Structure 1
């Protein structure tokens, strides 16, 4: 019924992947229902511990209003597991990965090896059996590589993992396909060469070899233009060359008709995603204002009536920025605003983009001209919002937000949302917010200086014994500190986390971080070191690797 045993190996591997996704979906949906039930309950907001001893007159003893609870709320095995899986290591040629991510990758490789080496009976010789097994397992992985690259991801609905965090899995699967196809193709070419007179005859001497060779060339183009250097410094080359997958699909089906049996559903989901993005991205939105801020940052304020969450991002297109290239160029950018929590009828959003490449450089240069470029109104299209934070910050009493440079954009969106909800007296658990921003100098502070001052002013109207907003700005290249919120140098996250834990006592702490890779690693490992039975530091990191 399943044809060859090698086909069966790929078929059962697809079923294994599907079974894992179903189990994760059940767990995720159960957790979502539980969160929804608890979210409807209005939280009890206790008094915060005294941050310092109160003033005392002569003959009086200092008193504190409330001492932090230091009850152990986690078992030691839970803490050890948290520390082990969240510790970050640098993996050569891959980048920083947590031990948990490494274990997931190892599990993925083990599943492939099990089906690759399982002793299925076959009529062919050992080498040929292994070669065909490689091809069918590559097809089994190809069934998932396409939906893993969709922005309107089915995985977000099923297991709560959004596009930007699935990209790493997409790369794992893509590279596995490449290595499996490489072995398969090498063996088949060797077999063909032994019975032919030339290399070209071995490569394209038969229709089957010809289509397989062309499919492999398409795969090579995708692999080598997907390197991080190409993605970062020549994004358009990476983006357009990635469409070589169309030829991989066409030539692959001509090479092996069973190709479509594995890839049909995944390709269907990808096509649906592309159509949805095309339709939703057709209309333009009203741009309210554009401003060139100090140190190469452009701020755009625009009308946005769709629902979005703090910390999310979108893709924008400015069709008349640099035509004809800009007609099709879409760029990811985080919301720096937060969704309005009060029905005030205002539906504005904002983004901040730092000069890092050709698109952002052109935008910054032309932002000095205002809303019209060469007498033509600025046209902006939006695809999104996308993304989902891995932590529910509103369900943690204490929140720490860490930013490096322009990485402040998603973090200040979360900060604004939390303060808005506190001021509006909404059912939010969060009492204490610590906001750390590491920048070179005070010029960079101008990017969000007015917004931070406004937030501190609004938070100052809240009861001081119930809420804290502590903002610290670290200047790495400045010898002066203009006010009490500024500090020289870089923060020691381990000391900072220990101080917060000592002050607040029992209760898990949510940490959000966005910035350079070195900062992300420091924050993650400091969170691991500071976690114990009274408090787990749970980290959500923002990275937008494409």
Structure 2
């Protein structure tokens, strides 16, 4: 029996390929959900005072070496080996479908005959349709895929990018072959692209895809985010309209993901424009100096943060009054939340206002009292260090908000780019700013199932680690039995001591809570100051804290010390910083067989 090639209907390749991909994904999701059931069962055992811990699946240890991350020049700074193998496997699957699909066995066929190019290029185009359908889904912030698979939006972005590249390569094979056919039909250069209506619409669609690709290269994405973002939107609109005009069957592939994408856009618009975010204070936490860029602090209230989990982030739009207002409100930038507080909501006529003013100088008023703009007169004394410390101590340890409570959060934003430097300047002059928030987004990091949590941070990359540490310590201090973490290590690298100032009292709070915890929890902090050879020990007298001047940490030594202290205990590693820093930490975690998570914004 030999493989028979059905050469009359290239649509079958697209249909069967889509079913194959969704089938594989469904198997993964079922496995993930079964694992979640097991994790919740273990946590219930701990609630009933049983010494139960989550144990990794048997094959996880064998797969651990594949989590090592490497750099691919001109492509990406961080990619796990398992992703390289996965993309390679995925590419091979695409080639198999282009050459062999649809699959049908016929005993009358005794030899293989390579399909003609004119058939394979169309198969490639329809398989590319499926891939770009996935690109839509994986590029949406709110979709069912994240709930089914446990993969968050930013974890899906690399797959979004790789599928787009593979799909574009398949479109290009179709496009180049048809260009040759168009030119050879009349030997007129214009006919290469515009031979007839089908050629014209196909060429315009291809130009839309190329616009997306060119403006998605790393340099543009990191240095000119607005160009990248709006070229994405314009390019995809052009590409989708003219692709479906070019071939009506493309509606079958694109309409479901487009509808999901539109639903995502509608929900995001509701979150950012329908749910008000009230700025309480926008100021300079650290002024810019010759040795460091400065840090802006934003304190705001947002009721949707009741769903927030430590380590998550929000998209923020900040705009000044003026002719650029609408443009600035359309520019959304991801920002990691550095701290969250639960405070009681107080109506303007409430007699309890005086009590709540001891928690924060500006009372969180009813919706009708809320303001749209931040300015210096809004709350001249609000959210100062003392008020934040008081809020920190009064806030409940529960991760969820109760009735009558609202959520106040802080952002600490370093002046690293043009946008953040302008924000720092506006904060220093108390310039009125219009403030919108979309989120929160990001994974629910499962550190609580590990006995040891080790956080590594560089510069402002400390912010997600602080929320994780605070949540862990507060829940252990309150006696929450589902949190099994007993030891936290923090290795933080900064250039100058100014970067410590906004967070020093938070570290003091951690140490204080550890001493009075119902369930034992210990924190060790190692702070490295790289650009100063010597200086005052700002952490002097704080148990478990050390300050090292004039050098960078030896990540390998720190990890080996953790191994020596805790043996075979499960360790969860979190890292945020430069690509080289994260690569070093992640590969160190792989070496010791530990689970790790890294924070990165590559949207």
Q: Same fold, TM exceeding 0.5? A: yes
**Which secondary structure state, in structure 2, belongs to the residue aligned with residue 436 of structure 1?**
strand
Tell me the residue number matched to 1:410: 464
TM, length-normalised to structure 2 = 0.80
Residue 39 of structure 1 and its aligned partner are, at CA, apart by 2.0
**Which secondary structure state, in structure 1, belongs to the residue aligned with residue 437 of structure 2?**
strand
TM, length-normalised to structure 1 = 0.88
Residue 339 of structure 1 and its aligned partner are, at CA, apart by 6.1
Tell me the residue number matched to 1:382: 437
- Tell me if the contact between 1:339 and 1:417 (Cα under 8 Å) persists in the aligned partners: no
Give me the whole-angstrom Cα distance separating, in 2, the residues matched to 1:116 and 1:245.
24
Residue 145 of structure 1 and its aligned partner are, at CA, apart by 1.1
- Tell me if the contact between 1:319 and 1:328 (Cα under 8 Å) persists in the aligned partners: no
Give yes or no for the alignment of 1:291 onto 2:346: no
Tell me the residue number matched to 2:485: 430
- Mapping for residues 202-281 of structure 1, pairs under 5 Å: 202-243=192-233, 244-281=235-272
Residue 40 of structure 1 and its aligned partner are, at CA, apart by 2.7
Partner of residue 27 from structure 1, selected from 26, 31, 34: 31
Give me the whole-angstrom Cα distance separating, in 2, the residues matched to 1:236 and 1:414.
31
Q: CA offsets per residue over residues 150-198 of structure 1, 9 Å max, x none?
A: 0002211110111111111111111112111111111011012111131
Residue 222 of structure 1 and its aligned partner are, at CA, apart by 0.6
Tell me the residue number matched to 2:388: none
Residue 75 of structure 1 and its aligned partner are, at CA, apart by 10
Tell me the residue number matched to 2:557: 495
Tell me the residue number matched to 2:547: 486
Tell me the residue number matched to 2:90: 108
Tell me the residue number matched to 1:18: 22
- C-alpha change, 1:229 and 1:74, in structure 2 (3 Å) is closer
**Which secondary structure state, in structure 2, belongs to the residue aligned with residue 337 of structure 1?**
strand
Q: CA offsets per residue over residues 127-170 of structure 1, 9 Å max, x none?
A: 11121111111112122110110000221111011111111111
- Tell me if the contact between 2:586 and 2:596 (Cα under 8 Å) persists in the aligned partners: yes
Give me the whole-angstrom Cα distance separating, in 2, the residues matched to 1:86 and 1:110.
21
Tell me the residue number matched to 1:508: 570
Give me the whole-angstrom Cα distance separating, in 2, the residues matched to 1:214 and 1:149.
23
Tell me the residue number matched to 1:66: none
Residue 44 of structure 1 and its aligned partner are, at CA, apart by 9.2
Partner of residue 182 from structure 1, selected from 172, 177, 200: 172
- C-alpha change, 1:242 and 1:31, in structure 2 (3 Å) is same
Tell me the residue number matched to 2:372: none
Give yes or no for the alignment of 1:358 onto 2:430: no
Residue 326 of structure 1 and its aligned partner are, at CA, apart by 1.0
- Mapping for residues 63-82 of structure 1, pairs under 5 Å: 79-82=61-64
**Which secondary structure state, in structure 2, belongs to the residue aligned with residue 447 of structure 1?**
helix
- The structure, 1 or 2, with the larger RCO (C-alpha pairs under 8 Å, 6+ apart) is 1
- C-alpha change, 1:75 and 1:219, in structure 2 (3 Å) is closer
Residue 449 of structure 1 and its aligned partner are, at CA, apart by 1.9
Residue 124 of structure 1 and its aligned partner are, at CA, apart by 11
Tell me the residue number matched to 1:5: 9
Tell me the residue number matched to 1:448: 503
CA RMSD of aligned residues (A): 2.5
Residue 357 of structure 1 and its aligned partner are, at CA, apart by 2.2
Indicate the larger mover: 411-420 or 105-114.
Answer: 105-114
Give me the whole-angstrom Cα distance separating, in 2, the residues matched to 1:304 and 1:399.
29
Give me the whole-angstrom Cα distance separating, in 2, the residues matched to 1:108 and 1:320.
47
Indicate the larger mover: 394-403 or 295-304.
Answer: 295-304
Give yes or no for the alignment of 1:169 onto 2:159: yes
- Tell me if the contact between 1:481 and 1:487 (Cα under 8 Å) persists in the aligned partners: no
Indicate the larger mover: 231-240 or 274-283.
Answer: 274-283
Residue 92 of structure 1 and its aligned partner are, at CA, apart by 2.5
Residue 43 of structure 1 and its aligned partner are, at CA, apart by 6.0
**Which secondary structure state, in structure 1, belongs to the residue aligned with residue 338 of structure 2?**
coil
**Which secondary structure state, in structure 2, belongs to the residue aligned with residue 473 of structure 1?**
strand
- Tell me if the contact between 1:338 and 1:414 (Cα under 8 Å) persists in the aligned partners: no
**Which secondary structure state, in structure 2, belongs to the residue aligned with residue 379 of structure 1?**
strand
Q: CA offsets per residue over residues 380-413 of structure 1, 9 Å max, x none?
A: 2111110104x41011111001111111111111
- C-alpha change, 1:333 and 1:350, in structure 2 (3 Å) is same
- Tell me if the contact between 2:514 and 2:520 (Cα under 8 Å) persists in the aligned partners: no
Tell me the residue number matched to 2:70: 89
- Tell me if the contact between 1:319 and 1:326 (Cα under 8 Å) persists in the aligned partners: yes
**Which secondary structure state, in structure 2, belongs to the residue aligned with residue 281 of structure 1?**
helix
- C-alpha change, 1:197 and 1:345, in structure 2 (3 Å) is closer
Tell me the residue number matched to 1:61: none
Give the number of aligned pairs: 507
Q: CA offsets per residue over residues 482-519 of structure 1, 9 Å max, x none?
A: 22521131111111111111111222100000110001
Give me the whole-angstrom Cα distance separating, in 2, the residues matched to 1:19 and 1:76.
24
Q: CA offsets per residue over residues 228-265 of structure 1, 9 Å max, x none?
A: 10011111111111111111011001111111111111
Tell me the residue number matched to 1:51: none
- Tell me if the contact between 1:46 and 1:466 (Cα under 8 Å) persists in the aligned partners: no
Tell me the residue number matched to 1:539: 596
Residue 543 of structure 1 and its aligned partner are, at CA, apart by 0.8
- C-alpha change, 1:199 and 1:279, in structure 2 (3 Å) is same
Tell me the residue number matched to 1:439: 494
Give yes or no for the alignment of 1:314 onto 2:306: no
- C-alpha change, 1:358 and 1:119, in structure 2 (3 Å) is closer
Q: CA offsets per residue over residues 90-131 of structure 1, 9 Å max, x none?
A: 222222211122122122212211111216599997111121
**Which secondary structure state, in structure 1, belongs to the residue aligned with residue 273 of structure 2?**
coil
- C-alpha change, 1:481 and 1:399, in structure 2 (3 Å) is farther
- Unaligned runs of 5+ residues in structure 1 are 48-72
Residue 467 of structure 1 and its aligned partner are, at CA, apart by 2.3
Give yes or no for the alignment of 1:520 onto 2:557: no
Residue 3 of structure 1 and its aligned partner are, at CA, apart by 10
Give me the whole-angstrom Cα distance separating, in 2, the residues matched to 1:277 and 1:74.
36
